[in-house]
Every structure is written in structure tokens, then in C-alpha cells.
Amino acid sequence: MVIDGFESGFADVNGIRLHYVAGGAGEPLVLLPGWPRTWYQFREVLPLLARRYRVIAVDLRGMGESDKPSGGYDKKTMARDVFELVRSLGYDEVFVAGEDIGSMVAYSFAANHPEATRKVALWEVGHPAEAFYDLRMLPQDGRPDAPWWFAFNQLDGLPERLLEGRFRVLVDWLIEYQATAPEAIGEEARAHYAAAYDTPEAIRASNGWYQAFGQDIADARGYPVLEMPVLGLGGIYYPFVPALLEGKAADVRFVEFAGAGHYLAEERPGDLVRELVAFFG
């Protein structure tokens, strides 16, 4: 599945094969998706951004049409995947942006490959930090801030047994729970995501992103303060964005999308493009 004006490609990098979708002309902008999504979550923003940039939307390690190896799901390794992809495409420096799991990889990319990072934007929510250990699993006052799936995805083997062939149930539940405009994510997109995660292999791989949080937190302790410009965006989980970036970047600004849900690229594509273009220039 590719949208008009874009092409699908593959690259052998860091010992695996990554899938990406690219289009447009201009300075390179790399987009990194979240869970449980693929590059397709950017379908609304890609044509708009392609008017100004060469846009590259990546299926991360373990996602979509990319390889799903047994390991390497720490965000430092995943950032290396993207770095080698960028180099294989002939770019020395890129703009990097990511949502959810993609925001974690985007931050790690900037921290580990600053020479390749012109600016970085991340939203909903940011790189794992010590605060993750304090997340509450029980909701309070009706607020949607009890990420039970953080713990569920840590389990070894059980998610595959429960969700194989039934991942659409989880896709629909997450959208209804985390989106304030669930109608923005229609049948075609929901079916696409369900198919992408419906197999034991895909479920195991995506669980790996969560099971690596401990390693991610340990890795981040040694990361330098980011010197390149950083943009932090948020909707329903906006409070986490500045909290996770506190003391981590020298030049950072924040934008809250009031009333937005978790899936900004799909729920608020026009607002997201406006902020990214204003930031990247």
C-alpha cells in the first residue's frame, strides 16, 4: 500500500532489512511511527510535507514490512538502524520526527548521532526515563493515563497467544480510549494496522520495544544534553513531553494541541504539519 506520489523502498542496514516510503523534494525529513502503527499513520501529512521536504517514513525494526529479528529493540540500536538508512540514502544530515515509539527512537537518534541531526521533533511522549518506573497502572479520576499495555507488552509469550488473529480488537480499543477524534482513523487504516500486527512474529517484535525500556533508561543516563533545536508536541499525554525532556535539551520549545488525543498525525494532521514546517523551516 503506497499513496500517490510516493514510492516504497527497502534497505539492508545494521544487519536487518528496513522498509520505508519516500516522496517529495527538498531537505530530508525522516518520520518515525508508533505502536501499534506503521508508516501508514503519516498518510495524511506525507503529501503536505512533501511540498517542502524529501519525506521518508520508516517502518522501524519489528514493524510493518521491516525485519522482525529476535533482538535489537533497544532504542539505541533502532536509532542506529535509521542512521544507517539515512546514510544509505546519501544524506549527511536530516530532520527527524517521531510519534510514540518513534519519538523514543527520534530522541535516541539525536543523542547518538548528533552529527546527522539538524533538528528533532517528538510527540506523545518521548524517550523512556526513570519516571517510567513510577507510572501508575490504575486510572484515577477518570483520566486516560493508566498505560496497562506497558506492563502487558512486557510479558513473554502471552500477548502472542491472546492476540494472534484478534489484534483488531486491541486496535479499536486503543483508538476509542486514546483518540478524541476516533472517526479520523477509519476502517481502511484500522484494518491495515490490525493486519500488520496480527501474527505472533509481529506481536513479539512490537513487545520487544517495550521490553527494552529498562535498557533504554540505562542508556539515556549517559546521553549528552541535546544541542540541536528540539520541538516537543503533545495531545492527551502532553504533560509527559516536557517532563521527559527536562534537562535533556539546550534549545527546546513545546506546543500543546489542546483537546487532541494521542494520534496527532491522524487526528490533527493540519496542525501537526503547521508546527513541523514552522519548526524545521
Letter string b/e over residues 108-131, b meaning 16 or more CB atoms within 10 A of that residue's CB: bbbbbbbebbbbbbbbbbbbbbee
Q: Out of 40, 219, 262, 263, which one is annotated catalytic? A: 262
Question: Does the annotation mark 238 as catalytic?
Answer: no
Which of 102, 95, 81, 18 shows the shortest CA–CA distance to 279?
A: 95
d(CA 168, CA 190): 7
Is residue 113 part of the annotated active site? The answer reads no
Secondary structure E strands in 176-220: none
Residue 59 falls in the annotated catalytic set = no
Using alpha carbons, select from 46, 6, 37, 214 the residue that is nearest to residue 124.
37
The span from the CA of 180 to the CA of 79, in Å, is 30
Count CB atoms within 10 A of the CB of residue 254. 14
For the record, the C-alpha cell of 232 comes out as 516537543
Read off the C-alpha cell for 91.
544524506
Give the Å distances, CA to CA, from 19 to 11, 39, 121, 259: 7, 9, 21, 33
Phi, psi of 51 (to 5 degrees): -70, -20
Cell of 247: 534537562
- The single-letter DSSP state of residue 63 is S
Cell of 111: 543523542
Active-site residue, from 59, 74, 100, 216: 100
Catalytic residue among 20, 73, 197, 210: 210
Q: Which residues are catalytic?
A: 100, 210, 262
